[in-house]
Amino acid sequence: MLNRGRAKILGLLAFLALLAFLPAFLGPYSLHMMILVMIYVVIATSWNILVWTHQISLGHAAFFGIGAYTGALMFNAWRLPPYFDMLLGGVSASLSAVVLGIICFRMAPWALAIATLAFAEAMKILVIMLPGLTEGAEGVAIPPLFGGEEAARTKGYYLIFGIASLCVLMAYFLKRSKLYYAFTAIHDDEEAANMLGINPTKYKVVAFTLSAFFVGIVGSFYAHYIAYIDPHAVFNIHTSVEAQIMPLMGGLYTVAGPVVGAFILTLLGEYLRITIKEGYLIAYGVILVIVIFYLPQGLVGLAGKWMKRK
Amino acid sequence: MDLATFAQVIANGILTGGLYALIAVGLTLIFGVMRVINFVHGETLMLGSYLTYFLFTLYGIDPFLSLPLAICALFVLGVAIQRFFINPVIAAPHLNQILLTFGLVLIIQNLALILWSGNYISMTTRYSAVSLKFGPLSVGLTRLLGLMIAILLTFLLTLALKRTEWGKSVRAVTQDREAAMLMGVNVNRVNMLAFGVGSAMGGAGGVVTSMVMYIFPLVGMLFVLKAFAIVVLGGFGSIAGAVVGSLILGLTESLVTNYVPSGSGWAEGVSFAVLVLILVIRPKGLFYVE
């Protein structure tokens, strides 16, 4: 008989194998949806890392946009190898997180929430107002790396699948590392953590930096994949909203939660976008409220409870 | 520099600052009493605007007559939101509260989008185009009246906080929640009233907004971000700070609009620059007292 741990690993392997062979079964539109799912897996997982320190960002779109613009502009200027410019996208997003974090973490937890929301808006304004550097509101076109061709799309899928796997793997190992204990120590009792020699600000900055890094990378990936970016598309508040609601629905403080949330909500969001068109985000609001009141552990927590009862 | 233009720029800044004050004062009141980051505050403004608009276009009710109506309606809505949504999570971590109010924003905002579409609308009253001349200055009548409403309501609120029993409880809870509770202050009641009054102020801001600018479902988000910048600038929970912060933001935006190349685009970013600057230099705000 299989024990629970082994069953879990087998299930996970089967799931990964399914994802790896997906391009063979899916048409271009479905594959495009799966690429979006993977992008959101990264955004949701990254956002959730910051929550471990009990801080929230309402502006992860800023890191997505910074990554997208860094990647696109550097690629256009110097024809860097594409993977290298994605890395630079991640680095620039991380750097901005370090600065923002150092400013905000000396204060109450709400400071970062407000500051990040404002930061994303401010970045959008900067990009629009500095057309000499960023081509302004018109946006930037990038020669497509993966393009619309079937084979190229498949390549794009494998790349983002790889990035998403790395990101989730990082979250997994982080959750089992000493860092995680430092993160949670801060959120349980900041003063006590301080006395134990854990510098709360330092660890919050570390978490925030990690949280921004992969989002910057996927921002840059997105720029290459879509081959065109503009400030309203990449510094979009929807991205920030989705970044918080996916982990919340799946289960905060877990590794699987954001992944589950990203799968469900990306596909649900697309369905709602097509059916309701304007105002479909109302569903997200309702989910947010319901989850906070009735499902604080998210779907993963619910599944755990259900399994225990069996 | 042309002095007449400068005077006009300053006047515009003060008028805008008055409108901001109406919104920021309510926000800071709510934060002071409950320590809740209330993103819904922007939506009270949006709802106040649409209420005024519909009363005017459907029933021909003058915006100034809508003011007391909007204040009452948003007061009731504020009390209901506090009672049914905020109160249950009042002891929960900040994180849950922020996400909850953000969720409510998404619901209200998108409901408005679905019901009233995302189009920009504006209304024209008989006196919309009237402007008064003060020497070289020209001031729109509605904007001037808007400023007066802001001054009047802020004055009334300050008076209420100073003189009434409720006001004293509010200040007591703002200063020290636990002590107030021990002294027999009914904190629940104070919370509910403060949230109602704060939301009513936001609604009043909406009435003024509907007279002086375009309204659309996302207008609340625009204002709530600025209001947060103001409240951080003035010091969280300080009414005087919110008023001064509003004037500073209004004036700076007006100056930037007029004296910086392509300034109207940059003006939108002033509040964010102020926010970051204050967080760096004086994180507790200008008016914070230990």
Residues in B touching A288 (Cβ below 8 Å): 99-100, 102-103, 106
Nearest residue to B56 via CA among B114, B118, B127, B108: B127
Amino acid present at A67: G
Residues in B touching A241 (Cβ below 8 Å): 102, 106
Angle of helix B3-34 relative to helix B165-175, nearest 10 degrees, comes to 80
Per-residue pLDDT at B80? 95
Cα–Cα distances (Å) from B202 to A266, B107, B116, B260, in that order, read 34, 18, 20, 31
B137: three-class secondary structure by DSSP = strand
Q: B136 — contact with chain A (CB < 8 Å)?
A: no
User: Quick check: B229 and A118 CB within 8 A?
Assistant: yes
Q: Which residues contact B167 (CB under 8 A, 6 or more apart)?
A: B160, B161
> Which tens digits make up the pLDDT trace of B84-127?
999 888 888 777 888 899 899 999 999 999 999 888 988 888 88
With 50 as the cut, is the pLDDT of residue B290 above it? no
CB count, 10 Å around CB of B192? 21
| Cβ proximity of B35 and B240 under 8 Å | no
B134 beta partners = B137
Pick the residue from chain A with its C-alpha nearest to B227.
A114
CA distance A87 to chain B (A): 27
Whole-angstrom distance, CA of residue A225 vs CA of residue A210: 23
B43 beta partners = none
CB count, 10 Å around CB of B148? 12
Residues in B touching A125 (Cβ below 8 Å): 265-266, 268-269, 272
The residues on A that touch B, with CB distances below 8 Å, are: 51, 54-56, 58, 103-104, 106-111, 113-115, 117-119, 121-122, 125-126, 128-129, 237, 241, 244, 248, 276, 278-282, 284-289, 292-293, 296
Select the residue from A51, A103, A125, A235 to test the B interface by mutation, using most B Cβ atoms within 10 A: A125
Q: Which residues contact A36 (CB under 8 A, 6 or more apart)?
A: A266, A270
Phi and psi at residue B131, in whole multiples of 5°? -135, 145
Whole-angstrom distance, CA of residue B194 vs CA of residue B202: 12
Residues in B touching A232 (Cβ below 8 Å): none
CA distance B54 to chain A (A): 20
Mean pLDDT by 10 residues, chain A (310 residues): 73 84 82 92 94 88 95 87 87 94 79 86 89 81 72 85 93 87 73 71 89 95 89 89 90 90 91 82 89 86 78
Interface confidence (ipTM) of the complex: 0.84
Residues in chain A: 310
CA distance B139 to chain A (A): 29
SS3 labels along chain A: CCCHHHHHHHHHHHHHHHHHHHHHHCCHHHHHHHHHHHHHHHHHHHHHHHHCCCCCCCCCHHHHHHHHHHHHHHHHHHCCCHHHHHHHHHHHHHHHHHHHHHHHCCCCHHHHHHHHHHHHHHHHHHHHHCHHHHCHHHCEECCCCCCCCHHHHHHHHHHHHHHHHHHHHHHHHHHCCHHHHHHHHHHHCHHHHHHCCCCHHHHHHHHHHHHHHHHHHHHHHHHHHHCEECHHHHCCHHHHHHHHHHHHHHCCCCCHHHHHHHHHHHHHHHHHHHHHCCCCCHHHHHHHHHHHHHCCCHHHHHHHHHHHHC
Interface of B with A in 34-63 (CB under 8 A): 37
> How far separated are the first and last CA of chain A, in Å rounded?
17
Count interface pairs A-B at CB distance under 8 A: 118
Place of tokens 């959120």: A187
Residues in chain B: 290
Per-residue pLDDT at A299? 87
| Cβ proximity of B8 and B241 under 8 Å | no
pLDDT mean over B196-205: 95
CA distance A37 to chain B (A): 22
Pick the residue from chain B with its C-alpha nearest to A282.
B107
Phi and psi at residue A55, in whole multiples of 5°? -120, 150
Q: B93 — contact with chain A (CB < 8 Å)?
A: yes
CB count, 10 Å around CB of B78? 29
Cα–Cα distances (Å) from A240 to A234, A260, A283, A285, B238, in that order, read 10, 17, 16, 13, 30
CA distance B115 to chain A (A): 9
User: Quick check: B85 and A129 CB within 8 A?
Assistant: no
> Which tens digits make up the pLDDT trace of B127-171?
877 888 888 888 888 889 999 999 999 999 999 988 888 888 888
Whole-angstrom distance, CA of residue B205 vs CA of residue B222: 13
pLDDT mean over B200-221: 92
Taken in order B39, B41, B47, B49, is the CA torsion positive or negative?
Answer: negative
Per-residue pLDDT at B1? 63
Whole-angstrom distance, CA of residue A193 vs CA of residue A183: 9
Interface of B with A in 192-221 (CB under 8 A): 221
pLDDT mean over B15-27: 93
Residues in A touching B38 (Cβ below 8 Å): none
